[in-house]
Structure 1
Amino acid sequence: MNTATTLRIRRPLALAILVTLSGCGGGGGGGGGGGSSDGTPTLAQRIAAAQSVAQTSADCQQIRPFYWEIGDASGKLVSGSFAGPLLTIDADTVLPIASASKWIYGSYVVQSQAGVLSSQDVKFLNFRSGYTNFSVCGSTPADMTVSECLEREGRDGGTNGEYVPENDGFFVYSGGHMQKHASMNPTLADLDAAGLATEMRRVLGTDIAMSYSGPQLAGGVETSASDYALFLRKILGGTLSYERAALGTHPVCTDPDTCPQEAKFTPSPTGEQWHYSIGHWVEDDPKVGDGAFSSPGAFGFYPWIDASKSWYGVVARVSLVSDSDVSVAVDSVRCGREIRAAWLKPNTQ
């Protein structure tokens, strides 16, 4: 049984987003794995533990429908799909990934510059540049460019490209940093959404299918879990070797409660002290963090690579009905990291 439905979802201040929904999602995969005399978990143990958590965890049950998978540089090792009352999401469902786009742009910069970043690059990519008035590109014509998006009305009046001097040097989570950074790149400044996708794929891999709903670097990508997983596997396997080396580099404190002299706004989970690297988070809270690298999106898409750079994972979902975009992202993080913890240490579950 396999049905396909096309759903157009609308929300205020966003473009219409085309989402392909596939019925009757599949279960997990994987195979056997030999144990080790030093107590290293077998592949079968990891798979069973991750599947159990994905199925039974209260944090995971509340975010249904969603698709998840875990793998390594060689490919997917286990996956699952849990349907909701209206739809099912699978590996090939194309979704708006919101801020998971940031990891893609950060990797593009790192790869295209062979891992050599200027101090200015770093300041823009770990969100301390002062360009923090960005809202969205709005209902844009198809040929609007990266630079033209900056001319649209910003969050607090003015334009998307307005510099806020009092925020310069402080971590402020905003798409404006990346939009302004891209506008200063002659290769990117005059690209529309289609051209932007072509350029990202040229550097990151033409085998990765993605598009942009608008010329918005930090939040405009639409792709599937399988294609984002391919991107993560390229990092793990060294095809994107400069990005692999850059994971976790140039980290900055993001929690205003912990470091008010360094940070003003963060959407990370309340009470947790994460750091921000080059277009991605480092989940290194001293109490609950495991050092994973990630890029949660406001609609619930949550990709990650573990601290050892051995495994990747994706939680794919889309939720456009919450009063808080932050809560949608955090809900996916909580489910995803429980699955990750089960995978890494199945014997403790």
Structure 2
Amino acid sequence: MGTLVASRAAAAGVTRMGIAIYDAQDRKVFEQMVGDFTPDERVAVASSSKMVSGVVLFDVIRQGLLSLDSTTGQVLGWTGDKAGITLRHLLSFTSGLEPNHPCTSRVTLTLQECVAQIATVPVKAPPGTRFDYGGVHLQVAARMAEVVTNKGWNTLFTQTLATPLGLPSGVTYYTAPTQMLGTTNPLIAGGLRASMNEYAKLLALVFHRGRYAGLEKGTLALFSAQTREPYPSVTVGNSPMQDVGYPYRYGLTAWLECSPVPVLGCPSISSPGAFGWTPWLDRDAGYYAILGMQLGAGDATGGVVSFSVDLEQDLKPLIRTALGN
């Protein structure tokens, strides 16, 4: 494994990154750093924020304040063809909304103001019929959580996950995470900053279906639903996984690394980000892992996402073998 990581990094011109692998008992069984990157270096994890945001929303559901069937009409007062969009649609990126909106990068707004702007844009498709990867869906879902909890997103994240897991205040969501700017309109789908050691606790919580370190977050049913595709017959629009050559579909805030997706759900899920940070887990093989890095657009020959996701795919059988599975 170490040889593969080093040779791939060298071939792609990647000079700073790391990998950490944890077994089902949360023991760090492998760690390797390239260059001067360290497991305590906090960086912008981009779309790896999505899976974490999912856990926060799962816990709001556990508390009975929302359900996967809660609609934008009920919670946000949306009307017309947008009123029937459910939290399930939003978490699976099948809301039919335009997947991106410029308001999500505006540091001076609040999440409420951004979502009010999103509400004015015509829908792209009826809910549940089209998959489009993008930041808008979770921005709306998070606003629903803010309304029913009467808490801002970062407060909700801190109280739900960061504080119980012992994570410091710097592990938080920003509008512009690489510059650490904007916390009133956090980018829910991509604004989190964390180190490998910090993110590992969040990933452990997902691996153990919300039952980790004495905590109970979300429900077992929600973590089971996460591993299935809620609308298997959707038209696939924007899909970064297909763009880099993989047939994987999407569950609830996570890619399903099975093709086709089994009826009972996919044991391996992931949440790779645009800067190369790639967390994944495999419950069948009994481990979870993080490729840690924060690369710029030109920092990997052949593309950042291709580099990290290809490396993840090639590491998976090696890890399975090393663990004796």
- Normalization by structure 1: what TM-score? 0.69
Distance 2:111 2:283 in 1: 33
1:121, distance to aligned residue in structure 2 (A): 1.8
Secondary structure of 2:33's aligned partner: strand
In the alignment, does 2:289 pair up with 1:313?
yes
Q: Greater relative contact order: 1 or 2 (C-alpha under 8 angstroms, separation 6 or more)?
A: 2
Distance 1:172 1:243 in 2: 26
Partner of 1:262: 235
In the alignment, does 2:187 pair up with 1:216?
yes
Partner of 1:168: 127
Q: Tell me, yes or no, if the aligned pair for 1:100 and 1:295 is still in contact at 8 Å.
A: yes
Deviation per CA, 1:259-296, whole angstroms, max 9, x where unpaired?
A: 6x53222110444211211101111135xxx9521000
Partner of 1:202: 159
Distance 1:132 1:187 in 2: 22
Distance 1:306 1:285 in 2: 14
Deviating more after overlay: 165-174 vs 295-304: 165-174
In the alignment, does 2:244 pair up with 1:283?
no
1:181 and 1:63, CA in 2 relative to 1: closer, same or farther beyond 3 A?
Answer: same
Distance 1:160 1:332 in 2: 34
1:105 to 42, 46, 53: 53
The aligned amino acid for 2:229 is P
Distance 1:75 1:201 in 2: 25
1:55-66 pair list within 5 angstroms = 55-57=6-8, 62-66=13-17
Partner of 1:300: 276
Partner of 1:340: 316
The aligned amino acid for 2:282 is D
Which consecutive residues of structure 2, in runs of 5 or more, have no partner in the other structure?
Answer: 70-85, 176-185, 261-265
In the alignment, does 2:41 pair up with 1:70?
no
Q: Which has the larger radius of gyration?
A: 1
Deviation per CA, 1:53-101, whole angstroms, max 9, x where unpaired?
A: 3233478754432111000343322111101xxxx32111111111111
Distance 1:321 1:57 in 2: 17
Partner of 2:92: 126
The aligned amino acid for 2:123 is V
- Normalization by structure 2: what TM-score? 0.73
1:322, distance to aligned residue in structure 2 (A): 3.2
The aligned amino acid for 1:213 is Y
Distance 2:285 2:217 in 1: 12
Deviating more after overlay: 295-304 vs 125-134: 125-134
1:225, distance to aligned residue in structure 2 (A): 1.1
Partner of 1:274: 248
Partner of 1:94: 42
1:79 to 31, 36, 46: 31
Aligned residues: 276
The aligned amino acid for 1:303 is P
1:178 to 138, 149, 154: 138
1:140 and 1:190, CA in 2 relative to 1: closer, same or farther beyond 3 A?
Answer: farther
Deviation per CA, 1:27-52, whole angstroms, max 9, x where unpaired?
A: xxxxxxxxxxxxxxxxxxxxxxx323
Partner of 1:145: 110
Deviating more after overlay: 107-116 vs 311-320: 107-116
Structure in which a larger fraction of residues adopt helix: 2
The aligned amino acid for 2:110 is T
Q: What is the CA RMSD across the aligned residues, in angstroms?
A: 3.3
Q: What fraction of aligned residue pairs are identical, expressed as a percent?
A: 23
Which consecutive residues of structure 1, in runs of 5 or more, have no partner in the other structure?
Answer: 1-49, 153-158
Partner of 1:235: 206
Distance 1:163 1:313 in 2: 39
